[in-house]
Chains A and B, each alone.
Chain A
Amino acid sequence: MHPLIIGPLVTAGLSSILALVISVTDKIVNDYGEVSVDINGGKKKLAVRGGSHLLGTLATENIFVASACGGRGTCGACKVKVLSDVGPHLPTELPYMNAEEVEANTRLACQVKLKKDIAIEIPESLFNIRKFRTRIESIKDLTYDIKELYLALSDADVAAGGIAFECGQYAQLVAPPYDGIKESTQRAYSMSSSPLDKAHIELLVRLVPGGIVTTWVHTQLKVGDEVEVIGPFGEFGVKDTDALMVCVAGGSGMAPFKSMLNHILETNAYPGKEIWYFFGARSKRDMFYLQQMAELEGKIDRFHFVPALSEPNPEDAWNGPTGLITDVLDTYIKDKMPKGRPMEGYLCGSPGMIDACIKVMSKNGMTQDKIYFDKF
């Protein structure tokens, strides 16, 4: 036979044989049979196939542990407490753990392989995380690049109790493959609707140039389309203390604060809190919800809204504060806000804005552990 034929044939044949041996080994070696997962001391018991990682196995059982990297062990978000013995921590887990977490046997769900029965502890709120089927009820243009999506949960989801979330939490919007994008993609958006309405979800989506999901929302979505949403996630929320609440947002960072303020209006929650909300935009065409916020300011005595433009156009006829939101924040803390009261920072916006705000807040005597934010 000609060597040009023998060569590829042998290489391909050898590779196939080795691949076959590997998959047979995998089948035999990685068969751990059925293992049971005990969650929160018997609250929930799952019987699952062993051999794969905890994160994925829980997801197939509709328990969604937060994970930004999708189980590649690079984000450290999927921490769960493991009560039974699953061996010592892997080198891939340790960079994301502090000493107390190691002591408490906190693990990364994406690195723990299910080999035998296991007992774990996860926040009760994870049971509320579900995949919801929703239909788009309305899409509003808030600015030239921010859309407000109003989603109605399917009847089945509403019958099952709807979405139970706290204001400040976020949901992952699932964009199916479209145009050149071959894979389904998820991105996180804070919910701007009130938690009392369990049948609807409102999201604010700003168009990010080149963004997969935001481009999909801005160019493909129409009223009546069905979309999937997974949630709620996140720990960003109002702390029930008497400290001054200093909120800073830009662009679609408005979302969690809209939810919080409407919630406070509806239920008079956190009665001891005085709320200062700084909202920054470049010019009038980036500004939205001004009227809604003014109405809220009228209805909630302890709420103060400070919108600021950094580069107002002459035709904007802007007579509010101007300058970078961080500078406006600085002046207000120094001159206009009540002095001597403890303060808490709540930030939502671009990473750059958040870092700049943290600097200003620290400079004005606020400690890092009292500054809360979601960076995405």
Chain B
Amino acid sequence: MTPDVHPVTLLFASIFTSNILLSNFLGMCSFISISKDYKSSFGLGFAVTIVMTITMVVSWAVLKFVIEPLGIEYLSFIIFIIVIAAIVQMLEMLIDRISPALYLALGIFLPLITVNCAILGAILFMQIRSYDFAQTLTFGIGSGAGWWLAIMLLSAIRKKVDVAPVPAGLKGPGITVITIGFMAMAFIGFSGMLTVQ
């Protein structure tokens, strides 16, 4: 049953109170590896937002018009993954043609996103919480933007941490994971303010 959440509320909820990264810990690998560079973080965050929004909408259509009518929910994982891979592939070609500058900025990140669990995770939330179309759209935009926001925050913090006197054993991923922990705790402060389901 479609939850009684206004799409705009959902947009804010998915960015702040239920941030896909800091509340659900999805998409951690690229979050940790790419965040050491500010510019790349921006590019990847942007790419995730675009891909998240588009795949979310397409997956919603596939869910409503193929999976649910045929009663093959048990295959939704496979189908969603195929849909994500195909869309990323097409996006890559289109962006390359339409805007070489944007392609250059996103270039190597697009294939990475195919295996970003945040995308599949958000799509599965959409299925479990049975969002309608408007909710799916804003949830897609919001989850992407939330991921983008989180990685920008982390890379900004890491810039400072890089020049800070960190104990040798904690340098690199160690201190990064601790930092993420603090960020997640800060975001817990938002929890319960808005409901998503």
Q: How many interface residues does B have (CB within 8 Å)?
A: 23
Q: Quick check: B83 and A18 within 8 Å, CB to CB? A: yes
- In the complex, how many residue pairs between chain A and chain B have their CB atoms under 8 Å apart? 55
A111 to chain B, nearest CB (A): 10
Q: How far is the CA of A88 from the CA of B75 in the complex (A)?
A: 43
Q: Quick one: closest B residue to A113, CB to CB?
A: B96
| The stretch of B12-20, B86-94, B120-128, B174-182 that contacts the partner chain | B86-94
Q: Is B169 an interface residue (CB 8 A)?
A: no
Question: Which B residues from 86 to 118 make CB contacts under 8 A with A?
Answer: 86, 89-90, 93-94, 96-97, 100-101, 104, 107-108
Contact of A18 among B78, B82, B94, B100 (CB under 8 A): B82
Contact of A15 among B72, B82, B100, B107 (CB under 8 A): B82
Q: Is A26 an interface residue (CB 8 A)?
A: yes
Q: Is B29 an interface residue (CB 8 A)?
A: no
Q: Quick check: B75 and A10 within 8 Å, CB to CB? A: yes
Q: Quick check: B90 and A10 within 8 Å, CB to CB? A: no
Q: Quick check: A30 and B93 within 8 Å, CB to CB? A: yes
Q: Is B70 an interface residue (CB 8 A)?
A: yes
A145-168, CB under 8 A of B: which get 1 and which 0? 000000000000000000000000
Contacts of A19 in B (CB 8 A): 86
Q: Quick check: B75 and A22 within 8 Å, CB to CB? A: no
Q: How far is the CA of A115 from the CA of B97 in the complex (A)?
A: 9
Q: How many interface residues does A have (CB within 8 Å)?
A: 22
Question: Which A residues from 236 to 280 make CB contacts under 8 A with B?
Answer: none
Q: Is A87 an interface residue (CB 8 A)?
A: yes
Q: Quick check: B86 and A21 within 8 Å, CB to CB? A: yes
Q: Quick check: B104 and A90 within 8 Å, CB to CB? A: yes
Q: Is A331 an interface residue (CB 8 A)?
A: no
B154-194, CB under 8 A of A: which get 1 and which 0? 00000000000000000000000000000000000000000
Report, nearest first, the 9 A-B pairs whose CB atoms are least far apart: A18-B86, A29-B97, A29-B93, A25-B90, A7-B75, A87-B100, A91-B108, A22-B89, A7-B72
Q: List 22 A-B contacts (CB under 8 A).
A: A6-B70, A6-B72, A7-B74, A10-B66, A10-B70, A10-B75, A10-B79, A11-B75, A11-B78, A14-B66, A14-B79, A14-B83, A15-B82, A18-B82, A18-B83, A25-B94, A29-B93, A29-B96, A30-B93, A88-B104, A90-B107, A90-B108
Given A10-B66, A11-B82, 6 extra CB contacts under 8 A: A7-B72, A11-B79, A87-B100, A87-B101, A90-B104, A92-B108
